[in-house]
Each structure stands twice: as structure tokens, then as C-alpha cells.
Amino acid sequence: MTVGNPLLHKSMVSCKRKNILSPDILNKISTPAYVIDEYLLEKNLKILSYIQNSTNCKILLALKAFSTSACFPLIKKYLSGVTASSLNEAKLGSEEFGKNVHVYAPAYTPQIFKKLLKYSSHIVMNSFTQWKRLKHLAVFSENLEIGIRVNPHYSEVANAKYNPCSTNSRFGVSSDTLKNESLDGISGLHFHALCQQPFDVLERVWTQIESKFEKALYQLRWVNLGGGHYLTHPEYDVKKLITFINKIQNKFDISVYMEPGEAVVYNSGFLVTSILDLGDINPSYAIVDASASAHMPDILEMPYRPTLLNESPMSSSTFKYSIGGPTCLSGDIIGDYSFEKKLKIGDKLVLTDMAQYTIVKNTTFNGIELPSIHLLKTDGELKLIKKFNYADFKSRVG
């Protein structure tokens, strides 16, 4: 595929930067630990900023994927705001990010909705039934914009668990429903139909959106294209996206929002873990102090096999290990890997692309320690952001 943006970088593993988790830096890290690389994060942000500057669209960080506020000072230099899925995320975005805060949830209680008014610039409703029940509360906020989520009932997401447009989906209203409702008080449309997908999928989804909701698009001020766009992936065609966004905005006289999560922090995070024990056969097992179940749940939920730095291609001459976590769950397996040299107890392993959907989804299952959080600054300084302890565990379980 032709890459449309000269700012697009090579994969994180092949990056030439010398201080990406060098031995000196690894020696400073007590495991398990997440490390967010500020340099790699900023490379992603520059791509997203390039898209914004080329289209005047607004790109928002989806807090459901990544909400480490220590990184917000850098992120808000480039992005236009955040999207939130709850009151806690909205409050965090308002207090720590300080720009647009878009909120969407499948349902709101009146009590939560009233509190959201304080923190939100945009609130997206999942149904007209809900909007009619809560709209009398929205008049108390002069700067609030209301959107409605629509469902094109078309998606190319392969995993049904992550497909928001599946049959009987609870997300958004159909075109038939929208035709029979008033858009009074509604200023925008929101849809979400992608998951880690390239531009051509968005283009096909938009064909469905435009054919089913064209009349509404002409009446409204903005459209939110949702998340799941693989904008910072090396093969994403950014030039086509820019042309596409400009075409939409010109045709409908409408503003475009996008709300990526993974694309913001793609390949900028690591999970560093240490080997606690080893089997004595080949292939064998290695037990580490990081858990797929507790610290990287998408490994089991998606499922997928994360990349390890310095792993070797499988061959008859390599040492093979099934690497698993320290919990009692038999399926707490990170993956099968091979190495040129035998592993030793105490060796540190580095899992890549571990920023999104890790810190926000981790648990203390079995009471195991949560990974600490570090920020690797552009100048090479390693900064500890958060160290968890017994009090954190106790407070989670009451």
C-alpha cells in the first residue's frame, strides 16, 4: 500500500533511537512496569496533527484506550480534546486535558447526566427515547452540544465481540428510526464501526452512512467518525483520508471529528517483566511477574500474541518457551516465543505496543501487584509516574 504521509514512521522495533529501553534504562526498572516512550508517542501525535492541519478536522483522544494524565501535557499540544465513556473519564478530561470533552455511553441516569453537564462540551445520546427523557436537563448548559449515535448496520470487524454494528446491536439508532424523529436540539451525528482498520474500510462504511443518513447530515453541524482508525500504522493511507475528510466537510458544510484511542499511543508503550522461574526442558515454560489475564487482558480477549523485543524466529536451533503469568489461571499465557540463548531467572523481557487497553483494563486478580507506570522522556530520563501498593489493592476490593 502506498503510504500517504511523509511523517509516518517505521515500526517501533526498527526505530534508530538509541535510548529505547537500553540496558542502562532497563536496569533502573523494577518489574512489572509499563513504560510510555514520549518520543514515540510524539511521532504518532505529529501524524495526527498533520491530518488536523490538512483538513481542519478535530482529533480527540479516546480515554477508554489510554488515560494516563501524565502524558496529557504532550498530547494536548497536538490534539483537540478527549472522548469519555463515563463520568470519571469526563471529569479527568475536563480537569487534566482542558479542551473539548465529548461523551458517549449507551445510557445515562438523570443523576449522571446532570453531573456530565459540568464537564462536557458534547454529549452523544444512544437513542431518541433517552434524549426525550433527559433533554429538559440540558437547557441548563449554554455551551453544550448534543449528538445522536447512528448505526449503519454495516461493519467489517471480524471479531463479533468488538463489532458495534452486529445484529441486534444496542448501539445507536437505525436510519428508519431517525426518519421519524425530530432533530430539534441535536447538532451532530456519531457512529463507530471500525477496529484497527485502514482507510478503505472507513470509505466503505461511509458509503452506508451517507446513503442512509444523508438528509440528516445536511441539517447538522458536525459528524464524529468514531474510533478504530489505524491512523498511525505505517500502511495507513493518510493522503486518501485527508481528501476524504475535506470532501465530506465541503459537501455537507459540516465539521468532522475523529476519536482514535489505539492510534494515539500505537507502538509507544512497553511492559517490562522479569522471569521468576523456568522449566528444564526445550520447549519449556517461563513464569514472569506480568500477567496476561490481569495486566494485558486483550491478549486473552482478542486474542492475540504480542511481540517481544529480541525474540527470534522459530527454528530448530532456538530455545523455545511458553511464557505465562504468576496467577492461578491455567490460561494465563502470554504466548510461545523462541530465543537464540537460554533464558535465565531474573532476565527482563520487554513486550511491545502495551500502552492501549492495558493500564485502563488491568486488575489485581489473585492480589498480584499492578505494574508501575513510567514515562521515558525524549531526553532519555526515566520518570516514575505511579507505584502501586497494598493500599491500592485494598481500596479496589473494599
Q: What does pTM read for this prediction?
A: 0.93
236 has a pLDDT exceeding 70: yes
Looking at residue 149, its pLDDT comes to 98
d(CA 208, CA 301): 29
- The amino acid present at 321, given as its one-letter code, is Y
Strand 284-288, strand 269-278: pairing: antiparallel
Which region among 72-76, 141-145, 261-265, 335-339 has the lowest average model confidence (pLDDT)? 141-145
Long-range CB contacts (< 8 A, 24+ apart) of 63-66?
A: 63/89, 63/92, 63/93, 63/261, 63/360, 64/89, 64/261, 64/360, 65/227, 65/261, 65/262, 65/264, 65/265, 65/356, 65/357, 65/360, 66/261, 66/264, 66/265, 66/355, 66/356, 66/359, 66/360
Q: What is the average pLDDT score of the chain? A: 92
The dihedral built from the CA positions of residue 154, 156, 162 and 167, taken in this order, carries a sign that is positive
For each of the domains in the chain, give its residue range(s) and CATH number, in order of start.
Answer: 39-265 (3.20.20.10), 269-397 (2.40.37.10)
pLDDT in tens, 198-222: 999 999 999 999 999 999 999 999 9
Locate cell 511491545: which residue?
352
Q: How many residues does the chain have?
A: 398
d(CA 52, CA 54): 5
Looking at residue 1, its pLDDT comes to 29
Residue 224, beta-bridge partner list: 190, 257
8 has a pLDDT exceeding 60: no
Query: Could you tell me if 97 and 127 are in contact, meaning their C-beta atoms sit under 8 angstroms apart?
Result: no
Report the phi/psi class of residue 359: left, alpha or beta, with left for phi > 0 and alpha for psi in -120 to 50: alpha
pLDDT in tens, 256-309: 999 999 999 999 999 999 999 999 876 799 999 999 999 999 999 999 999 998
Query: Could you tell me if 202 and 165 are in contact, meaning their C-beta atoms sit under 8 angstroms apart?
Result: no
Looking at residue 11, its pLDDT comes to 37
